[in-house]
Amino acid sequence: MKYIHTKPDGSVTLTMFAAKELIMRDLKLKTMTDAEYEEFCLNRLKQESPADTGHTKLADDYVLPDLEYFNAWVQKGQALDYDLVKAKNIALTNLRAKRDPLMAKYDGLQSRAVDLEDATEIAKVKIFKAELRGATDALKALTPLSIEDIKNATPDLSVY
Amino acid sequence: MANSAFELGSGGAGAATKAQQQTGTSTDVYVSPGTQQYHYSATQAWFLYDYFTPAILASYNVSSIAINSTGVIQINFTVSFAAANAYTISSLTGGGATTLNVQHIITQSTGNCTIGNLNSAAAVSAPTGSGYWAGALNGAQ
């Protein structure tokens, strides 16, 4: 059973409860109805997060937003959505984290190519480095209207 | 040497109480399934959690697991520990050939603890690799 709730700072918490049978075992209960289990979960949730608001049970088939952008999740009524400004910043941070080691790698390759006076390699590395430097340009310029806009503007750096 | 009441079958031996389990020195009482977890050699709570599904795959004495922020989970206990500093936590997550996950305890209280995952850049982040996150908690309930 999954619940969402919102902390006073506006961020979301996603809570997953253990199955009813496990709760029964841990509490040494012989019986527990589904209604009692649900009541137990909601009571626990409110005890554990008294300052939070909007405690909402998610349907079993509810499709969660992308966990990569969890810190950009916002609760809208009984559902989840994205804070697109936060999501864009997360995408930029993640992209830079992937790009930095690649830049270091190509710096090394460039030094080696210069030492070997390999003009072809030098030119190739310069192109890769320019592409990497510009990898965040599309995202930085983006005013996203959806999470898909952000994903589409995030280049795949695994090719480098 | 005198035989214990249990060995004599005198009917005098009963199930160990929680206190006897925690003291852990008696050889005259037997252990029942309902109290064995109170011995300090036992794990009082454990979990196997799939961060990316996300779901609790298996657990003991864990009522729920919450994602508080990316890479930070809160373990809520079904039955609380005796004190905030009365237990230890060991935790690990799945990684890969070139990735590193290290966990650190952010807070711990009687009813819950929060654990953060660090990656190779020493930044709190989602676990890499399988996303499986396991933990064991030992101490006094």
pLDDT of residue B33: 87
Q: Looking at residues A89-94, what average pLDDT do you find?
A: 94
Q: Residue B121's pLDDT band (boundaries 50, 70, 90)?
A: low
Of A26, A28, A44, the CB nearest to B60: A26
pLDDT digits (tens, 9 = 90+) for B63-79: 999 999 999 999 999 99
In this prediction, residue B103 carries a pLDDT of 86
Looking at the complex, does the CB of residue B60 fall below 8 Å from at least one CB of chain A? yes
Cβ contact B65–A16 (<8 Å): yes
Chain A contact residues (CB < 8 Å to B)? 11, 13-19, 22-23, 26-28, 41, 44-45, 48, 64, 67-68, 70-71, 97
Per-residue model confidence as pLDDT tens digits over B5-35: 455 455 567 899 989 988 989 999 999 988 8
Per-residue H/E/C for chain B: CCCCHHHHCCCCCCECCHHHHHHCCCCCCECCCCCHHHCCCCCCEEEEEECCCCEEEEEECEEEEEEEECCEEEEEECCCCCCCCCEEEEEEECCECCECCEEEEEEECCCEEEEEEECCCCCECCCCCCCEEEEEEEECC
The predicted pLDDT at position B130 comes to 77
Q: Point out the residue among B54, B63, B69 whose CB comes nearest to the CB of A44.
A: B63
Put simply, the answer to whether A13 touches B111 (Cβ < 8 Å) is no
- A74 membership: H or E segment, kind and range: strand A73-76
Mean pLDDT of the region A46-74 = 95
> Greater confidence, A12 or B117?
A12
B104-126: average pLDDT: 86
CB contact under 8 A, B66 and A15: yes
Closest residue in chain A to residue B122, using alpha carbons only: A97
Q: What is the pLDDT of residue B122?
A: 65
- Find all residues with CB under 8 Å of B127, minimum gap 6, and list them: B51, B71, B93, B94, B95, B101, B117, B133
- The answer to whether B98 contacts chain A (CB < 8 Å) is no
Judged by CB atoms closer than 8 Å, whether chains meet at B63 and A16 is answered as: no
pLDDT value at residue A14: 97
Query: A9, A12, A22: which to substitute to probe chain B, counting the most B Cβ within 10 Å?
Result: A22
Report yes or no: B79 at the A interface, CB cutoff 8 Å.
Answer: yes
Say whether pLDDT at A62 is over 80. yes
pLDDT of residue B96: 67
**Average of per-residue pLDDT values in chain A:** 95
How many percent of chain A have pLDDT more than 90?
94
pLDDT tens, position by position, B36-58:
888 888 899 999 999 999 999 99
pLDDT band with cut points at 50, 70 and 90 for residue B2: very low
Asked whether A118 and A125 are in contact (CB, 8 A), the reply is no
Residues A116-160: pLDDT tens digits? 999 999 999 999 999 999 999 999 999 999 999 999 999 999 888
Chain B residue at shortest CA distance from A100 = B121
